[in-house]
Amino acid sequence: MQAAAAVTPVSDLRERVLAYLSAHTTMALATDGPAGLWAATILYTHEDLALYFTSVATTRHGQNMIASGRIAGTIHDECTEWIGMKGMQLSGTITLITDFEERRRIVAGYLARFPFSVGMWRGESNVDVIARDPGVHDFYRITPTKLFLTDNEYAPGRRLELALD
Domain assignment of residue 3, yes or no? no
Tally Cβ neighbours within 10 Å of residue 38.
Answer: 17
Domain assignment of residue 164, yes or no? no
Question: What are phi and psi for residue 70, nearest 5 degrees?
Answer: -135, 150
**Are 106 and 54 within 8 A, CB to CB?**
no
Q: How many domains does the chain divide into? A: 1
Domain assignment of residue 4, yes or no? no
Domain span at residue 74 reads: 10-153
Whole-number pLDDT of residue 165: 72
Beta carbons within 8 Å of 155's beta carbon, 6+ residues apart: 6, 8
Indicate which CATH number applies to the domain containing 70. Answer: 2.30.110.10
Domain assignment of residue 77, yes or no? yes
**Are 111 and 127 within 8 A, CB to CB?**
yes
Distance CA 153, CA 109 (A): 31
Whole-number pLDDT of residue 11: 82
Beta carbons within 8 Å of 160's beta carbon, 6+ residues apart: 8, 13, 148, 149, 150, 151
Give Cα 140 distance to the centre of its chain. Answer: 10
Among 31, 30, 17, which Cα is nearest to 88's?
Answer: 17
DSSP one-letter code for 37: S
Specify the amino acid at residue 164: L
Distance CA 30, CA 41 (A): 9
Specify the amino acid at residue 87: G
Show pLDDT as tens, one digit a residue, over the chain (165 residues): 444 444 456 689 999 999 999 999 999 999 999 999 999 999 999 999 999 999 999 999 999 999 999 999 999 999 999 999 999 999 999 999 999 999 999 999 999 999 999 999 999 999 999 999 999 999 999 999 999 999 999 999 999 999 997
Cα four-point dihedral sign 113, 116, 118, 121? negative
